[in-house]
Amino acid sequence: MRRGMALLLVLSSVLVAVRFAGAQNPVLYWGASGYHVTQVQQRLSWWGYYDGPIDGYYGPSTWEAVRRFQWLNGLAVDGVVGPETWAALGLPPVMPAAGPVSRGGVDNRDSLYLLARVIMGEAADEPLIGKVAVGAVILNRTRHPEFPRTIAGVIFQPGAFESVSNGQIWRALSDEALLAAQLALNGWDPTYGAIFFWNPAKPVSPWIWTRTIVTQIGRHVFAI
């Protein structure tokens, strides 16, 4: 715990500095891949332009959906997601991360911000340690044989997270959510290896209660 709190103090200072750095979404086109493509696919899917997989790959289905969106919204129809298309999609630029992160092969800023988004969606009202715990569960799943091997794969696994289904994952990020993601990526796991969490006060599948609860943090219980 002392190590985690020391890391918290260091990262708090770093994130304050990062908050004032410039940010710009990348130009996306056929063949691009990664979290930014996933953002576009998810938004176009919600709005009925795209019905393909949310897989982070800019292929023909994504290209056609972008062109359809551009045409119906008075934009240049070129299939390229540039500044005007980003603005029309209502997706703000993502600030650059404080620096490389590493845990389970994760080493890019897209993973940091995607993890922060699901933390925000699932645990916005939880204390910092509760936010870190949610992030830790996601990372623990990437190393578990029953789950996808990537952060994006775990998060967008069908039915895995309520915040993905209801769109809360795209709410404005807080500094604390970003900090929690960074702390989880740097190895803080207050859940002791949990791969499930839920709020006992909310209706959940009876199946989840068959899992072994290892701890409770805030309003969530964590289980293996």
The conformation of residue 220, written as its DSSP 8-state character, comes to: E
**DSSP-assigned beta bridge partners for residue 58:** none
Judge contact between 128 and 180, C-beta under 8 A: yes
CB under 8 Å to 80, separation ≥6 — which residues? 27, 28, 29, 66
Q: CATH 1.10.101.10: which residues of the chain?
A: 35-89
Give the pLDDT band of residue 198 (cuts 50, 70, 90). Answer: very high
Residue type, position 158, single letter: P
Cα angle 7-100-112, degrees, rounded to a multiple of 5 = 80
Q: 114-125 pLDDT, tens per residue?
A: 899 999 999 999
Q: 25-82 pLDDT, tens per residue?
A: 888 988 888 888 888 998 899 888 999 998 888 989 999 999 999 998 888 898 889 8
CATH of domain 2-19+96-186: 1.10.10.2520
pLDDT for position 31 = 83
pLDDT for position 99 = 41
* Sheet of 196-198, strands arranged across: 196-198, 220-223, 213-217
Q: CATH 1.10.10.2520: which residues of the chain?
A: 2-19+96-186
Structure tokens at 29: 């086109």
In whole angstroms, what is the distance from residue 156 CA to residue 142 CA? 12
In whole angstroms, what is the distance from residue 142 CA to residue 152 CA? 9
CB under 8 Å to 76, separation ≥6 — which residues? 70, 84
SS3 assignment, position 171: coil
Q: 137-178 pLDDT, tens per residue?
A: 999 999 999 998 888 888 888 888 988 888 888 888 898 999
Determine which helix (DSSP H) or strand (DSSP E) holds 86, and give its type and residue range: helix 83-89
Residue that is written with structure tokens 């710009």 in the block: 24
Task: Return the CATH superfamily for domain 35-89.
Answer: PGBD-like superfamily/PGBD (1.10.101.10)
Judge contact between 180 and 132, C-beta under 8 A: yes
Half-sphere exposure of 113 (CA within 13 A, CB side): 23
Of 11-15, 65-69, 82-86, the one with minimum mean pLDDT is 11-15
pLDDT for position 140 = 96
